[in-house]
A = this chain, B = another copy of it.
Amino acid sequence: MKVEQRPAGSQSREALSDRATLLGLYREMLLIRRFEEKTAEMYQMAKIGGFCHLNIGEEAAIVGTISALRKEDYVYSNYREHGHALAKGVGAKAVMAELFGKETGTSHGRGGSMHLFSQEHRFYGGYAIVGQALPLACGTAYAIGYRDKPEVVMSIFGDGATNIGAFHESLNVAKLWHLPVVFVCINNQYGMGTAVKRASAVTEIWKKACAYDMTGESVDGMDVLAVRRIADQLVAQARDKHEPSLLECVTYRYRGHSMSDPDTYRGKDEIKEWQGRDAILSLAAHLQKQKLASQDELQKIDEAITAEVEEAVKFADESPEPDLKDLYRDVYAGEGN
C-alpha cells in the first residue's frame, strides 16, 4: 500500500470529517478485510502453514488506533497481527510473502504469520506468547524517554492477555516511569474459546487501569471514527505529557480463534449480530450519506485493493524460498551473517 495515502497521524477532531482522512481509513480497513479473506483462502490451499489468526471484524479497532500514530512511532503486537502490520505501513507483499514463508517476507520466512516485523516501519513485531510484548513495549518507551524523542509506543494485545502477570507489571511501570505508551486492548469477547466473563473478574477491561492510577478508556471498536478520535487524544497525551493509558476497543472476530478453531463455543446469531454492525459497511454508508464518496468510487477502491492483494499473492508465490544453507543465519548478530 502507498504510505503517503495514509491519513496523517494525530489530527484534530475536525480532521475526521475531512474526505481524505475518511477515505484513507476506509481504504485501510478494506485492505485488511480483503487481505485476510485472501489469507484464509491461501491457508486452505496450504500456501500458508502453522497457526493463522485473522483480523476480520476488528478492522476499525486496528485502523482507528494505529492510524493515529506517526511513521516514527512504534507498534508492538501479538500473533493476530497481519492487519496491525498493514496499518502501520508494512507492504501487503512483504506480509503475504512472510505468511508464505518466503525469503522476501518481513522476517525472511523465519517468523511466519505470528512473527511479522519491520524495522523500517517501526512495527516491532508479532509475539506468540500472550502478554510477552507488553514489557518490551515499556522498554522501547523507556528508550524514547532516555533519548528524549517525541515518539510513542502502541502496545496491542487481546482481552485474554489482561489476566496474565506481564500486563500488571507493565502498566505499573508505564505509569511509574512516565512512559509514552498507549496500551490497546482489542476486546473481541473471547480468548480462544473462553469468554471474557469466564476469565476476568472485571469484564470492562478499561477499568483495570484504576490499579495504576492510569487513564482508562473504552470505545466502540466497530466505529472507526470513534476509535480514531480517542486514539488521537491518548497518543497526544503519551507524546506530550508522557502519560500512558489503557484503551479498550470493544469489537469481535468474525472467524474462529485460528484456522483450526471448530468455533463451537458461541452462537451463530451472536456472530450475525456483530456482523450487522460491520465497521466497513457503516463507514461506507456514512461516506455516501455525507456525499463524500459515491457507490462507484467505493467500488473502485475495492477493486484497487483487491488488485493490490492479488499482486501480493503473486509476489509471495513467485518469491524464492529461503536457502537451506541459511538455516543458521541470524541466530547470532555480528557473525558475518
**Interface of A with B (CB < 8 Å)?**
163-169, 171-173, 175-176, 198-202, 207-208, 210-214
- Give chain B residues whose Cβ lies under 8 Å from the Cβ of A212: 201-202
Please tell me how many copies of the chain the complex holds: 2
Q: In the bound complex, how far is the Cα of B211 from the Cα of A167, in angstroms?
A: 12
**Alpha-carbon distance between A167 and B199 when the two chains are bound, in angstroms:** 16
Chain B nearest CB, measured from A201 CB (Å): 4
The complex places the Cα of A212 from the Cα of B168 at a distance, in Å, of: 12
| Distance between Cα atoms of A165 and B166 in the complex (Å) | 6
Please give me the 6 A-B residue pairs with the lowest Cβ-Cβ distance, nearest first.
A165-B165, A168-B168, A175-B201, A211-B211, A210-B210, A201-B212
Within 8 Å by CB of A208, from B198, B202, B211, lies B211
Contact with A211, one of B165, B176, B198, B202 (Cβ below 8 angstroms): B202
- Measured between beta carbons, the chain B residues less than 8 angstroms from A172 are 163, 200-201
Q: In the complex, which residues of chain B have a beta carbon less than 8 angstroms from the beta carbon of A208?
A: 211
- Which residues of chain B are near A176, meaning CB under 8 Å? 198-201
Residue of B nearest to A210 (CB): B210
Known contacts A165-B169, A201-B214; 16 further A-B pairs (Cβ under 8 A): A163-B168, A163-B172, A165-B165, A165-B166, A167-B168, A168-B168, A172-B200, A176-B198, A176-B200, A176-B201, A202-B211, A202-B212, A202-B213, A207-B211, A210-B211, A211-B211
Give, as a whole number of angstroms, the nearest-CB distance from A141 to chain B: 14
- Give the distance to chain B from A169, nearest Cβ to Cβ, in Å: 5
What are some 10 contacts across the A-B interface (CB < 8 A)? A163-B169, A163-B172, A165-B165, A165-B169, A167-B168, A172-B201, A176-B199, A201-B214, A208-B211, A210-B210
Nearest residue, chain B, Cβ from A214: B201
| CA of A211 to CA of B214, assembled, Å | 12
Which of A165, A168, A213 is most buried by chain B, counting CB atoms within 10 A of its CB? A168
**CA of A172 to CA of B164 in the docked complex: distance in angstroms?**
9
Chain B neighbourhood of A166, CB < 8 A: 165
Instruction: With CB as the reference atom, state the residue of chain B lying closest to A177.
Output: B201
Neighbouring B residues of A163 by C-beta, 8 Å? 168-169, 172
Q: A163 CB to closest chain B CB, in angstroms?
A: 5
Closest to A171 in B: B201
* Interface residue from B164, B175, B210 paired with A207 (Cβ < 8 Å): B210
| C-alpha spacing A201/B169, complex, angstroms | 10
Which residues of B sit under 8 angstroms from A164, Cβ to Cβ?
A: 165, 168-169
Chain B residue numbers with a CB within 8 Å of A210 are: 207, 210-211
**Most B-side CB within 10 Å, residue of A165, A202, A207, A211:** A211
A326 → chain B closest CB, angstroms? 37
* CB of A160 to closest CB in B, whole Å: 12
How far is B162's CA from A171's CA once the two chains are assembled, in angstroms?
A: 13
CB-based nearest B residue for A168: B168
